[in-house]
A and B are shown apart, each in its own frame.
Chain A
Amino acid sequence: MEYIIYIQRNTELIMEYAQNHFALVLTAIIISLVLWVPVGVLITKNEKWASRVLNIANTIFCIPSLSLFAVMVTIPALGLGRRSALVALVLYAMMPLVRNVYQGVKGVDKSVIEAAKGMGMSSWRILWEIQLPLATPVIFAGFRITVVMTTGIAAIATYIGERNLGRLIAEGLTRFNVEMIIVGALFIAIIAIGLDSLLGYIEKRIVPRGLRTGRS
């Protein structure tokens, strides 16, 4: 009951935080997709580069989020606020996105590629018409992980000046205000679940029909 009263009293503030949070997540994901999907595709063409890029992605993913945000702030061009938050989130997204695109494309049945090549399809055509469509389930799995993860980590960006739902949790902690903490967590969870369900719906429409019948 007290949570509902808290939400009613602070609707304006919560909506502002939620909006900021959502905007940050969306921008980060769009930039990540534009950047990492092509990288994931490109490295399938060269083993040496693939292992290099994947190693970098893994290493970045191991850095604790709070410290990565902090490091970004120390870079003069970024500073406190949105830009640092975006760069950090995009760097985090590198691992799940690049890895899943790479593994999805690489995991396509070799005999299908062999047959397509043997019929005279060019390697780019094979990539576009065969490898990418067949990799969609794996790519989508990575995409969904990225979205949920980004929504969660974005909350921590409140410590470098982002006014988002993370602030409810952070302030709740300092003031030991349980309602604040719970409401903050709740809204973050709602955004994550909402986005994930939306993607699940899109995935169902995008995954090629032949693959779905194969599994049933």
Chain B
Amino acid sequence: MIELREVSKVYPGQSAPAVDNLSMTVEKGETCVLVGPSGCGKSTTLRMINRMIDTTAGTILIDGKDIRQSDPDKLRMDIGYVIQQIGLLPHRSVAENIAIVPRLHGWPKDRIKKRVDELLTLIGLDPEESRHKFPSQLSGGQMQRVGVARAMAVDPPIMLMDEPFGAVDPIARNHLQDEFLRLQKEMKKTICFVTHDINEAIKMGDRIAIFSAGQLVQYGTPQEILSKPTNDFVKDFIGLDRVVKILSLFHVKDVARRTICTAGESELPNVAGKMRDLGADTCFVLDNGGRAAGFITWEDIAKHGDSAASETMQQIVAGRKKAFVQELVLLRDALSLMLELDTEHLGVMDGNRITGAISLRDIRKHASKKEGE
């Protein structure tokens, strides 16, 4: 747990404090994202936690212990630190770079070697192949991964990350973010993460701290921030697509309706009765191979009547051949697909299995839902 109590920082020669009387707590195992425009004090705050910058006033406690009581070098050896420029040592191999902190801790050689291989595997690099490479032989994304691995080398309980994915291209960044989320799910480290990108903050953070001019403007879960921004600054910072952003906090499976039925193509004329019997409002029509060819919704039946010609039904079904989405897709992306296909309904799948259905109305309801309801 990291606790900041009335922390201020005034840089010499400046009258306005870079960080002004800041108090906040980062709970154990949580990712706290510090976000704000440049010069808002987010990086300064982060760097005060491992004493790269000393506080002007106030106290910072790590697990209840004042950081000023520890030797700065010792303190930093137990806190993972990743910066945007990565800062791999260009004259040392990948393995040697990862081994820096274990070496400072005085680990025996074979333990270091084992740990390096373990970490390389964890970040998706082949140990045999990449161990002896130099940083200049890696791609930007690979360097960033090695930077993260290096910070995790001695498995520190706390990690500080200063725009760690800021210097890589958007595709690689997305990939790194996903990978890091996956790792964090298992590691449960206490992480402070600085970014100026609100989307990254929403994606990575258990909690988001929004900074402006050295002050903490709002501190809360992504949903709290998105659904109840405290003031206009936060509103502006999040952007006009605030509600759409809420949709990126949820997956299709959080909203999908599970009551469904399936029918073969030949059963089309009896579909209405079948749906009524099962209390389902969507019926998936399977082709001869058992694959989903499309679906009929209760609305179609209401519109065309129980006894609509089966050609009409077939047309509706065929028109929805592509209207399927995977369970783990974000609601935002599902909405985008609806708009793209000009439909209000999507079938939900887990791999090749049909698991439910989702409609525009479901998404709308979810987006306007306030937290706790």
A residues with CB within 8 A of B: 109, 111-122, 130, 133-134, 208-211, 213-214
A contacts with B: majority SS: helix
Chain B residues lying within 8 Å of A117, measured Cβ to Cβ, are: 52, 76
CA A120 to CA B71, docked complex, whole Å: 10
Does B24 sit at the interface, judged by CB under 8 A? no
Q: A115-B83, A133-B91 are in contact. Are A210 and B73 (CB under 8 A)?
A: no
Q: A209-B134, A210-B134, A213-B134 are in contact. Are A122 and B73 (CB under 8 A)?
A: yes
Chain A residues lying within 8 Å of B75, measured Cβ to Cβ, are: 120
| Cross-chain contact B91 with A209 (CB below 8 angstroms) | yes
Name A129's closest neighbour in chain B (CB-CB).
Answer: B89
CA A85 to CA B256, docked complex, whole Å: 90
CA A136 to CA B92, docked complex, whole Å: 14
CA A61 to CA B354, docked complex, whole Å: 83
Q: A118-B83, A120-B74 are in contact. Are A210 and B104 (CB under 8 A)?
A: no
Name A112's closest neighbour in chain B (CB-CB).
Answer: B87
- 10 interchain residue pairs of minimum CB distance: A115-B87, A111-B85, A208-B91, A120-B77, A214-B136, A118-B81, A120-B76, A210-B134, A111-B87, A210-B91
The smallest beta-carbon distance between B318 and chain A, in angstroms, is 57
| Cross-chain contact A120 with B104 (CB below 8 angstroms) | yes
Given contacts A119-B150, A133-B91, A210-B92, 12 further A-B contacts (CB under 8 A): A109-B85, A112-B88, A115-B85, A115-B86, A119-B76, A120-B104, A122-B73, A134-B90, A208-B90, A211-B90, A213-B137, A214-B134
CA A134 to CA B135, docked complex, whole Å: 14
Q: A210-B136, A213-B136, A214-B134 are in contact. Are A119 and B88 (CB under 8 A)?
A: no
Chain B residues lying within 8 Å of A113, measured Cβ to Cβ, are: 87
CA A167 to CA B82, docked complex, whole Å: 62
8 A–B pairs (Cβ distance < 8 Å), ordered by A: A114-B52, A115-B83, A115-B88, A120-B101, A133-B91, A134-B91, A210-B92, A210-B136
Chain B residues lying within 8 Å of A111, measured Cβ to Cβ, are: 83, 85-87
Does B212 sit at the interface, judged by CB under 8 A? no
Does B260 sit at the interface, judged by CB under 8 A? no
Chain A residues lying within 8 Å of B91, measured Cβ to Cβ, are: 130, 133-134, 208-211
Q: A210-B134, A213-B137 are in contact. Are A121 and B73 (CB under 8 A)?
A: yes
| Cross-chain contact A120 with B92 (CB below 8 angstroms) | no
Name B151's closest neighbour in chain A (CB-CB).
Answer: A119
Chain A residues lying within 8 Å of B221, measured Cβ to Cβ, are: none
Chain A residues lying within 8 Å of B134, measured Cβ to Cβ, are: 209-210, 213-214
The smallest beta-carbon distance between B273 and chain A, in angstroms, is 68
| Cross-chain contact A116 with B100 (CB below 8 angstroms) | yes
CA A130 to CA B78, docked complex, whole Å: 21
CA A113 to CA B150, docked complex, whole Å: 15
Name B101's closest neighbour in chain A (CB-CB).
Answer: A119
Chain A residues lying within 8 Å of B101, measured Cβ to Cβ, are: 119-120
| Cross-chain contact A130 with B76 (CB below 8 angstroms) | no
Chain A residues lying within 8 Å of B52, measured Cβ to Cβ, are: 114, 117-118
Task: Name B53-75 residues within 8 Å CB distance of A.
Answer: 73-75
Does B93 sit at the interface, judged by CB under 8 A? yes
| Cross-chain contact A119 with B136 (CB below 8 angstroms) | no
| Cross-chain contact A115 with B81 (CB below 8 angstroms) | yes
> A116, A133, A213, A214: which contacts B87 (Cβ < 8 A)?
A116
Does B50 sit at the interface, judged by CB under 8 A? yes
The smallest beta-carbon distance between B101 and chain A, in angstroms, is 5
CA A45 to CA B14, docked complex, whole Å: 24
Task: Name B121-161 residues within 8 Å CB distance of A.
Answer: 134-137, 147, 150-151, 160
Chain B residues lying within 8 Å of A209, measured Cβ to Cβ, are: 91, 134
CA A163 to CA B104, docked complex, whole Å: 55
CA A133 to CA B151, docked complex, whole Å: 23
CA A122 to CA B88, docked complex, whole Å: 17
Chain B residues lying within 8 Å of A211, measured Cβ to Cβ, are: 90-91
Chain B residues lying within 8 Å of A214, measured Cβ to Cβ, are: 90, 134-136
Among A109, A113, A118: residue with most chain B CB under 10 A: A118
Contact with A along B167-187 (1 / 0, CB 8 A): 000000000000000000000
